[in-house]
Amino acid sequence: AQKVTQAQTEISVVEKEDVTLDCVYETRDTTYYLFWYKQPPSGELVFLIRRNSFDEQNEISGRYSWNFQKSTSSFNFTITASQVVDSAVYFCALSRWGGDYKLSFGAGTTVTVRA
């Protein structure tokens, strides 16, 4: 069975502060994918990043960065210098490698950035 835990339910910050979202996962698979999706107030699910389990390099994309640590089964997401437009629910998700690639989602973390 696959499980994703996002322990932080809500985070509130003031604009320009950094925000780190935690994600811990469980899987018996040796190869798998990890994802982050953003769900803004309008409701759609926006793909942010996919990480393959054998690629432990950290990644930076603009103000977003991701820290993947296989040893601790964590895939944390940091927003640097947060902006009001970053206010959303962020979901971490896990899928198998191969087969139908079904996603298992965490419960999500609501980020509120105040001006």
Partner 1 sequence: EPEVTQTPSHQVTQMGQEVILRCVPISNHLYFYWYRQILGQKVEFLVSFYNNEISEKSEIFDDQFSVERPDGSNFTLKIRSTKLEDSAMYFCASSVSTESGNTIYFGEGSWLTVV
91 binds partner 1 (CB under 8 A): yes
100 binds partner 1 (CB under 8 A): yes
Quote helix, strand, coil % in the chain, to nearest 5: 5, 55, 40
94 binds partner 1 (CB under 8 A): no
106 binds partner 1 (CB under 8 A): yes
18 binds partner 1 (CB under 8 A): no
Among 10, 15, 20, 52, binds partner 1 (CB under 8 A): 52
Count the Cβ atoms, other than its own, within 10 Å of residue 27: 19
**CB-based contact 104:93 (threshold 8 Å):** yes
**Of residues 19 and 89, the one with the C-beta less far from partner 1:** 89
Tokens representing 115 are 């001006």
Beta-sheet pairing, 59-61 with 24-26: unpaired
Compute how many residues bind partner 1; rule: CB under 8 A: 24
41 binds partner 1 (CB under 8 A): no
Cα atoms in the 13 Å half-sphere on the side-chain side of 12: 2
Residues of this chain that interact with partner 1 (CB under 8 A) are 33, 35, 37, 42-47, 50, 52, 91, 93, 95, 99-108
